[in-house]
Amino acid sequence: MRHTITAVNTAITAVVALLSFGTGDAVRAADYYKDKTITVNVGYKPGGSADADARLIAKHLGKHIPGNPNIIVQNRPGGGGVRAINYAYNRAEPDGLSVFQLGSAHYLQQLAGSKAVKFDVSKMPILGAWTKSSYVLAIRSDKYANFEAIKNAKVLPKIADKGTGSGTAVMTVAWQKGLNIKLDVLPGYGSSESSLAVERGEADGRTLGVSGILRRSPHWISKNFAPPVVQAGPKRDPRIPDVPTVYDLNPNPGKFYRTVNEGLAFSRPYALPPKTSSEPVGILRTAWGKMLKDDAFHADLKKRKWTFVPTPHDEVEKFYQEVMKDASPDVVKDLKKLFP
């Protein structure tokens, strides 16, 4: 039925166009998106940070696209975000009217050869990623005073986590492999639920983003309640300069850590269906670039206390293409356990 409505819309547009005065070639090129609606698809339910991210993009991207298209957000939850990307890869029209938000860990799930994955992120045109998530491991100081205490612990630290398939779950494994430590993971908690579990003593710590701990649980650091003991890196986040990176603690953290860490850091790149023609891809990438420089966009980031660390589209694309080619079989084996 969508098609019928689109047809009606097109008919109206045509009539309006006929009634209006003739337009030049240059304007026609810019009119690719005139009176169109772009859908930003997000693979998670309303609520939560992925959804909020998509809504922010939907709010700001449109005004930088010639023709000022309407932009709406559509939630296509299912399979930990995989359903939406499967749709993008196999069903969505490559007309530049559907934009998809990739999950940070989707490329790992693809590497793991998960049965659910019916896409190849290295073949999708990327618009870019506007932020990076740098993870920390935060542990209650009354239980484990410092990194040495964790390393030599008789009773393993209990880490509340979302469980399989999420970025924090991958990272929780990566800490253990990269630092030769052991953690007792309690899976199944939601994100903020994990923090609450730490606060009430049900868990001793959790893996979370630097922004998350600073924004949502600042007292973990300021009151030394559950300070970060290690951060992902490669460089120290300027907001927590005293916390060592994995590389500070172990200069050679191994292949798994390296494969996982760099890619997970691109927080939710936005992508288009494969085979999208170059015209809309070009228009959208230009708009994306303008949006990243827009004061209004930055004002909204500031209001939400979100950090701006963009990665350009070619860098993300290059990483995905290389990692799909070069991943070592050992790493894939370990990933298989994380994405059953």
Minimum Å gap between C-beta 234 and other proteins is 28
Separation of alpha carbons 170 and 137, rounded Å: 12
- List the Cα angle 267/188/205 in 5-degree steps: 75
Task: Check binding of 195 to other proteins (CB under 8 A).
Answer: yes
Helices (H) and strands (E) in the chain, counts: 16, 13
Which one, 75 or 176, has the nearer CB to other proteins? 75
Task: Kindly state the tokens that stand for 122.
Answer: 């290295």
Minimum Å gap between C-beta 299 and other proteins is 11
Site string for other proteins, 197-226 (x = CB under 8 A): x-xxxxx-----------xxx-x-------
Strand partners, 72: 39
Minimum Å gap between C-beta 211 and other proteins is 11
Grouping H, G, I as helix, E, B as strand and the rest as coil, residue 70 is strand
Which one, 215 or 293, has the nearer CB to other proteins? 215
Minimum Å gap between C-beta 188 and other proteins is 4
Place of tokens 């890196």: 233
Minimum Å gap between C-beta 166 and other proteins is 9
Number of amino acids touching other proteins (CB under 8 A): 57
Which one, 24 or 340, has the nearer CB to other proteins? 340
Which one, 288 or 339, has the nearer CB to other proteins? 339
Q: Looking at 162-170, 223-231, 250-258, 276-284, which segment touches other proteins (CB under 8 A)?
A: 162-170
Minimum Å gap between C-beta 278 and other proteins is 27
Which one, 185 or 316, has the nearer CB to other proteins? 185
**Which parts of 35-193 are beta strand (E)?**
37-42, 70-75, 98-101, 126-129, 131-132, 135-139, 158-160, 184-186
- The torsion angle over the Cα atoms of residues 204, 209, 215 and 219, rounded to 10 degrees, is 30
Task: Check binding of 300 to other proteins (CB under 8 A).
Answer: yes
Separation of alpha carbons 292 and 132, rounded Å: 14
Separation of alpha carbons 208 and 309, rounded Å: 17
Query: Side chain identity at 298, as an amino acid letter?
Result: H
- List the Cα angle 32/34/36 in 5-degree steps: 95
- Residues 127 and 272 sit within 8 Å (Cβ to Cβ): yes
Minimum Å gap between C-beta 58 and other proteins is 8
Q: Looking at 12-20, 79-87, 148-156, 244-252, which segment touches other proteins (CB under 8 A)?
A: 79-87
Beta 311-312 vs 135-139: how paired, if at all?
A: unpaired
Q: Binders of other proteins among 2-61, rule CB under 8 A?
A: 2-5, 45-48, 51-52, 55, 58-59
Which one, 80 or 263, has the nearer CB to other proteins? 80
- Residues 101 and 61 sit within 8 Å (Cβ to Cβ): no
Residues of this chain that interact with other proteins (CB under 8 A) are 1-5, 45-48, 51-52, 55, 58-59, 72-80, 82-83, 86, 115-116, 158, 163-165, 186-190, 192-193, 195-197, 199-203, 215-217, 219, 300, 303-305, 339-340
